[in-house]
Amino acid sequence: MLGSILGLGLTALGTAGVLWTAAVARFLVPNTSNEPASRFRVGLPGEYPPGRVETRYKDSGIWVVGGRREGEPIVFALSTQCTHLGCITLWLADRNEFKCPCHGSGFTVEGINTEGPAPRPLERFAVRVADDGQLEVDKSRTFRRELGQWNNPDSYVVV
């Protein structure tokens, strides 16, 4: 009987030790996410003259575009997602437009819908000049043209 009580006690002590170690280890291991960063750098403002569309960030969900606002050169970041059903748009440089391969919606280089079922323009993401002089896009903040949000100075950078 003493042996089984001692065995039970050692088992309980061992279990408590394992649980304590697991609890402590949980706080030593950082939380990680498979989600891409919502903020990232996309180069210097001067790399984006009016009319240029940078496609190398397509896998991150953005088009970086050089444009004009009231005659001044600006840079803005458009979502690659079509506003119809969320398909990924394509940049057709020879036609100077974005095109949705799913249902045929078309968008100007500024992201304004011109054809197809897309109900509104592409969304913009927040963009700013970071401390190191590079453009930083923040995908956690979006701006919609039809709500007048493209007038928000956080939706573009004057070059």
pLDDT digits (tens, 9 = 90+) for 64-100: 999 999 999 999 999 999 999 999 999 999 999 999 9
The answer to whether 120 touches 113, Cβ cutoff 8 Å, is yes
CA distance 5 to 11: 10
Helix (H, G, I), strand (E, B) or coil at 149: helix
DSSP per-residue codes, 136-147: EEEEEEEE-GGG
Task: Specify the amino acid at residue 22.
Answer: A
Domain assignments of the chain as residue spans, ordered by start: 1-32, 39-158
Least confident of 2-11, 41-50, 117-126: 2-11
* Tens digit of each residue's pLDDT (9 = 90 or more) over 21-73: 555 555 555 554 455 679 999 999 999 999 999 999 999 999 999 999 999 99
Give residue 96's pLDDT.
97
Strand pairing class (135-143; 97-99): unpaired
Q: What is the pLDDT of residue 23?
A: 54
Specify whether domain 39-158 bears CATH 3.40.1080.10.
no
CA angle 104, 107, 113 (to 5 degrees): 90
